[in-house]
Amino acid sequence: MGAIEIEGVSKRYGGVRALDGLSLTVPGGGIYGLLGANGAGKSTLMRIVAGLVFADAGSVRLFGAPASPAGRRRLGALVESASFYPFLTAVETLLILADTSGVAIDAGGLLERVGLSEAADRPVGDFSLGMKQRLGIAAALIGAPDLLLLDEPANGLDPPGTAELRRLLRALAGEGMTILFSSHLLDEVERLCDRVAILDQGRLAAEGTLDTLLAAGERLWLDVAPVDRALARVGDRGTPDRGGIAVGVRRADVPALLKALADDGVAVYEARWVRPGLERYFGGEA
């Protein structure tokens, strides 16, 4: 049973198909990354899971049960840019949100967790974009949710703020929370997420652990001379790369490849495996 089970979900906005029969399971626990070019359907998927918009077709299950208002009490979400009343302080904002939800909170503790303790009594209107994002994450943690949805949570954060966000999410995941995290920052996703789903035009383009997705494009890089003779030997499996060649080859076949190159008079000075990043799964910006 996954924390989120999405089956055949479709959604249109006018003539634009945002999601096209998408099926996806987010396992419980850990940080699950959602990637895709602009318009791939990431935000729409988040909104459907959160109950902010309805799917045209398909189903969503949360923790094994059909998604419902009661089930969604187990989730917290920041699925759009954080927006608050500018005249309220950070503490007042959280207390009002908690009262609306019918739960008691330690507002100071939540603000400390997201690095806003020193701004607790400042009006939110004085906050930077990054501070508002952190307040939005604190608001999403009201009620100690089992599932946290974060759509581009690093927007507006400076490098120290991004590092602090990373530490916070790892700590929450370590406590057993499931986090669905979308971002266009590929490096952040590669450093933070346990599994990744990549969307392309509303469909699932790839899904799996980071190791699996990255290893799928693994190639053997060789520092060789002469390069043209080496390329002639490997044929269409190889391409020129950084002064040497990159070859698509199974690990078990490497000894035979090196012997064949040596037999052709090709000197091999270095051999190492290289992996492309996740950006190879989509043509545009994530």
Domain locations along the chain: 4-214, 220-281
pLDDT digits over 53-84, tens only?
999 999 999 999 999 999 999 999 998 778 89
Average pLDDT over residues 100-120: 94
pLDDT digits over 145-163, tens only?
999 999 988 877 888 888 8
pLDDT reported for residue 279: 67
Higher pLDDT, 141 or 277: 141
The answer to whether residue 90 scores a pLDDT higher than 80 is yes
**What superfamily in CATH does domain 4-214 come from?**
P-loop containing nucleotide triphosphate hydrolases (3.40.50.300)
Query: Residue 122, class by beta-carbon neighbours within 10 Å (0-12 exposed, 13-18 middle, 19+ buried)?
Result: middle
Q: Of 9-13, 36-40, 269-273, which range is least confident? A: 36-40
Confidence of residue 233 (pLDDT cuts 50, 70, 90): very high
The answer to whether residue 50 scores a pLDDT higher than 50 is yes
Please, which residues have CB within 8 angstroms of residue 123's CB and are 6 or more apart in sequence?
Answer: 86, 87, 88, 89
Average pLDDT over residues 30-54: 93
The answer to whether residue 283 scores a pLDDT higher than 60 is no
Residue in 243, 240, 241, 268 with CA at minimum distance from that of residue 254:
268
CA atoms within a 13 Å half-sphere pointing along the CA-CB vector of 13: 9
Cα–Cα distance, 179 to 33 (Å, whole number): 8
pLDDT reported for residue 286: 37
Whole-model pTM? 0.80
Phi-psi map region of 152: left, alpha, beta (phi>0 left; psi -120 to 50 alpha):
left
Encoded tokens for 137: 């994450």
Average pLDDT over the chain, rounded to an integer? 91
pLDDT reported for residue 285: 41
The answer to whether residue 284 scores a pLDDT higher than 50 is no
Give percent above pLDDT 70 in the chain: 97
Average pLDDT over residues 134-138: 94
The answer to whether residue 91 scores a pLDDT higher than 50 is yes
Average pLDDT over residues 244-255: 93
CA dist 115 → 37, 107, 135, 175, 198 (Å): 30, 12, 9, 19, 31
